Amino acid sequence: MSNAITLIQFKGEARADSRLLAKQLGNQHKNSMDLIERYAAKFKRFGHLPFQTEVGKRVQGGGKAERYALLNEDQCYFLLSLSRNTDIVVDLKADLIAAFREARDRSSVTDAQYLPLYHAMHDEVAALARRAKECGSDTPERMFHINANKALNAVMGIASGERGTLTIEQRLLLTTLQAVWRNHLHASLERGDDHHEAFRKAKAAVLTYMTGVGALLLGGRAA
């Protein structure tokens, strides 16, 4: 019977854990890793080949912590091409095709939502920078954009450069937070607030949303 494949997000790309592939094939993971390392140069023809080490867990019988690879779609198929085309391998190929297709579909949906709201938010941030200039500030506009992104990252609990590693759920939440930030910033500027007050109110609004609905979206509890 075919089993569903669970993919993970690594730097914004869907990847399969080599340990899961070995398990689905009914092989020892060591054998799969031997193949991946032996043909590493060929695997790299299909993209970056990241290796990870499972912190705090030892391989059976002791020794070093287990090392594994995160394979993209083409690398998965190349690994399977090194195996005999048994019924198990054929089933796994079908499962991988379905899993990666679903990952692409989900990613395209979040991109369609994320990017327009990202640009809309930063259009409003540009208006904030103009208000600041009217108030006598000489802060470059780019700093307002940087500070807005930093504030949203802080609310999400992520570091700079980590947006590409977000799960689908986290990315959807970030998309919503951008809309909340944009809407409150716009309303504040329309009321005539200065740039300090407008920024403060927008930040307070996303914090309130995050501690309530945002926490529930991520599977936690509202504060």
Place of tokens 């910033």: 185
Q: Which pLDDT score, from 0 to 100, does residue 1 have? A: 39
Residue 95 has pLDDT above 60, yes or no: yes
CA atoms of 182 and 137, how far apart (whole Å)? 21
**Number of other residues whose CB lies within 10 A of the CB of residue 155:** 20
Domain boundaries of the chain, sorted by first residue: 8-83, 105-217
Cα–Cα–Cα angle for 24, 36, 29, rounded to 5 degrees: 40
- In the structure, what pLDDT confidence band is assigned to residue 204 with cuts at 50, 70 and 90? very high
CB neighbour list of residue 134: distance below 8 Å, 6 or more residues apart: none
Buried b / exposed e across 2-26, counting CB within 10 Å, b at 16+? eeebebebbeebbbbbbbbbbebbe
Helix (H) or strand (E) holding 70: strand 65-71
- In the structure, what pLDDT confidence band is assigned to residue 221 with cuts at 50, 70 and 90? very low
- In the structure, what pLDDT confidence band is assigned to residue 87 with cuts at 50, 70 and 90? confident
Q: What is the pTM of this model?
A: 0.54
Taken as a whole, the chain contains a residue count of 223
**What is the residue-wise DSSP string for 2-58?**
--PPPPEEETTEEEEEHHHHHHHHT--HHHHHHHHHHTHHHHGGGS---EEEEEEEE
Question: pLDDT tens, 136-181?
Answer: 999 999 999 999 999 999 998 888 877 777 777 787 888 889 999 9
Instruction: Report in angstroms the alpha-carbon separations of 66 from 58, 120, 143, 194.
Output: 6, 45, 43, 55
Residue 187 has pLDDT above 80, yes or no: yes
